[in-house]
Structure 1
Amino acid sequence: MRLDKFLAESSIGNRKMVRNYIKDGMVKVNGDVKNEPAVEVNKDYDVIEYIDKVVCYTGKVYYMFHKPAGYITARTDEVNRTVFDFFNGINMDGVFHVGRLDKDTEGLLLLTNDGEFEHQLMFPEKHVEKTYFFWAFGSLNEEEKKRLEQGIDIGQGSNEVFTKPAKIQVKRFGMYNELKGEMPIKNLYNIDSKKYEQPVISGYLTISEGRKHQVKRMLKAVGCYIVYLKRISIGGLVLDESLERGQHRPLTKAEVQKILGPV
């Protein structure tokens, strides 16, 4: 096993960080300083030290997290609380979030220290599907659904303005004053009395790319304004609904194998 991999999988830092630690002479193997990240070590027999403290190999970790709305997908933020605030008491050095969810979006977020796991889910050419449940003001006719399914222009200066084909499934539609009790929103801000007579719609949108605010922009392009958004699956991994908002658990071996294949 490479030294940088050993340190990254022992929650010392991500690959980039631990390579710098090694090059700066902060790591010893069997008492000798090593400056080469690619040096081979045996996790069972060699003694690896970081800043003169023995490093215990923890291995790769994978977490499923039910992100609540109102939190930033980042390690730290000067203003807002982050998803890492929910992992108090757990060594999260070297662990990173796989992709992002907007501050006001909730649902499935994965965290790991395994770069290959992230690559399998995030590399654009993998075309990994991500499914979101939404509530929005507006309605969708058959032509608008077809536009979403075939690819739609979401603009904003992108060289490739049309999205890749998507899947849309409508769950509920009607008037806001009839369906507001079903909408999982305690306080809907900036709503005036006229909205009570506006149509609302809920459903599932599945995409295979990850542009900024993509789901919101796609639905906006067909006249729908999202007021609630939740990611429920990514790459065959489905959010465990037994997890309350803010709770997390390790992925099972079977769940990891869905992404990486048999190990």
Structure 2
Amino acid sequence: MKATQRLDKLLAHTGFGTRSEIKLLVKQGAVEVNGKQVKDSGLQVNPQKDVIMVEGKRAVYKEFVYLMLNKPQGVVSATEDNRDRTVIDLLDDEYAHFAPFPVGRLDKDTEGLLLLTNDGKLAHNLLSPRKHVPKTYYAEVEGAVGEEDARAFAAGVALDDGYETMPAKLNILVPGDPLLGKPSKIELTIMEGKFHQVKRMFQAVGKKVVFLKRISMGNLLLDEYLSPGEYRELTEAELAELQQADVTKKG
């Protein structure tokens, strides 16, 4: 990022309007830099050093935004869609103007942890097929999930298209009871992100997922206080852990 940039560009980036709207604000005397009214919307400013106020509100510059979303069911993991509501539609203008995008995707009927950012480098590192970022899901599965399934997942299973999955860790929380119609409750950690992978892995062992929620990605854990549809910015510690996650490259 350059040390200085145009005032109108900076204010547009921080959500104060379009460049034409900002030009009008400047003309009206609503913009101050270091305590002085400015009349030139093209003024070069340093967002790290200059104090920029718009109608009494300080403009805080961020190059990137990192949001943890508890994705609800019924919305799609996309920036736009002609039929369905997207995860971007859940954001306030304060964050939407950064043009964030989902890092990876969750199925429309899957809920849970989804990272939204405009940091392409971080997104690439988390999604690169050469790196194995663990993702843990909570699921409810029809029937009795048992140790035989855990051994199968640990060895890798063949999906319906012939793809052999990497070893995955299955933790059985509550065994199901088919006679009583009670599903098994499990946690599954996978190292890939194939299309419908968790559902297809259980399909491969003759079982059906009826509820699915992602609870972690790398070192990032879903905030239990976020209700479906709610989001918040990552803390500095969470972001640092995500950036420094010890991901293993394929040998």
Runs of 4+ that moved beyond 6 A: none
Structure 2 matches for 1:212-227, cutoff 5 A? Answer: 212-227=195-210
Match of 1:228 in 2: 211
Structure 2 matches for 1:113-152, cutoff 5 A? Answer: 113-152=118-157
Rounded Cα–Cα distance in structure 2 between residues aligned with 1:261 and 1:174 = 38
Q: Deviations over 1:16-44 (max 9, x none)?
A: xxxxxxxxxxxxxx69xxxxxxxxx9765
Q: Which amino acid aligns with 2:244?
A: G
Q: Which of 84, 88, 112 lines up with 2:88 in the alignment?
A: 84
Rounded Cα–Cα distance in structure 2 between residues aligned with 1:148 and 1:89 = 43
Q: Which amino acid aligns with 2:129?
A: P
Asked whether the 8 Å contact 1:140–1:222 carries over to 2, the reply is no
Match of 2:166 in 1: 164
Asked whether the 8 Å contact 1:129–1:235 carries over to 2, the reply is yes
Rounded Cα–Cα distance in structure 1 between residues aligned with 2:47 and 2:166 = 44
Once the 2 structures are TM-superposed, how far is the Cα of residue 142 of structure 1 from its aligned partner? 2.8
Structure 2 matches for 1:1-263, cutoff 5 A? Answer: 1=1, 10=13, 57-93=61-97, 94-156=99-161, 161-175=163-177, 178=180, 196=181, 200-261=183-244
Asked whether the 8 Å contact 1:11–1:92 carries over to 2, the reply is no
Once the 2 structures are TM-superposed, how far is the Cα of residue 122 of structure 1 from its aligned partner? 1.0
SS in 1 for 2:199: helix
SS in 2 for 1:174: coil
Once the 2 structures are TM-superposed, how far is the Cα of residue 143 of structure 1 from its aligned partner? 2.8
Q: Deviations over 1:159-182 (max 9, x none)?
A: xx100110000011232575xxxx
| Unpaired segments ≥5 residues, structure 2 | 16-41, 50-58, 246-251
- Structure 1 pair 112–173 and aligned structure 2 pair: CA distance change class (3 A): same
- Structure 1 pair 146–244 and aligned structure 2 pair: CA distance change class (3 A): same
Q: Which amino acid aligns with 1:209?
A: E
TM-score (norm 1): 0.69
Q: Deviations over 1:195-215 (max 9, x none)?
A: x4xx62110010011100000
Once the 2 structures are TM-superposed, how far is the Cα of residue 141 of structure 1 from its aligned partner? 3.5
Pairs aligned (count): 206
Q: Which amino acid aligns with 1:257?
A: A
**RMSD across aligned positions (CA):** 3.1
- Structure 1 pair 11–227 and aligned structure 2 pair: CA distance change class (3 A): farther
Asked whether the 8 Å contact 1:133–1:230 carries over to 2, the reply is yes
Asked whether the 8 Å contact 1:173–1:200 carries over to 2, the reply is yes
SS in 2 for 1:90: helix
Greater RCO between the two (CA within 8 Å, min separation 6)? 1
Rounded Cα–Cα distance in structure 2 between residues aligned with 1:176 and 1:85 = 39
SS in 2 for 1:139: coil
Q: Deviations over 1:139-167 (max 9, x none)?
A: 233333211111110032x6xx1001100
SS in 1 for 2:213: strand
- Structure 1 pair 143–250 and aligned structure 2 pair: CA distance change class (3 A): same
Aligned identity (percent) is 42
TM-score (norm 2): 0.72
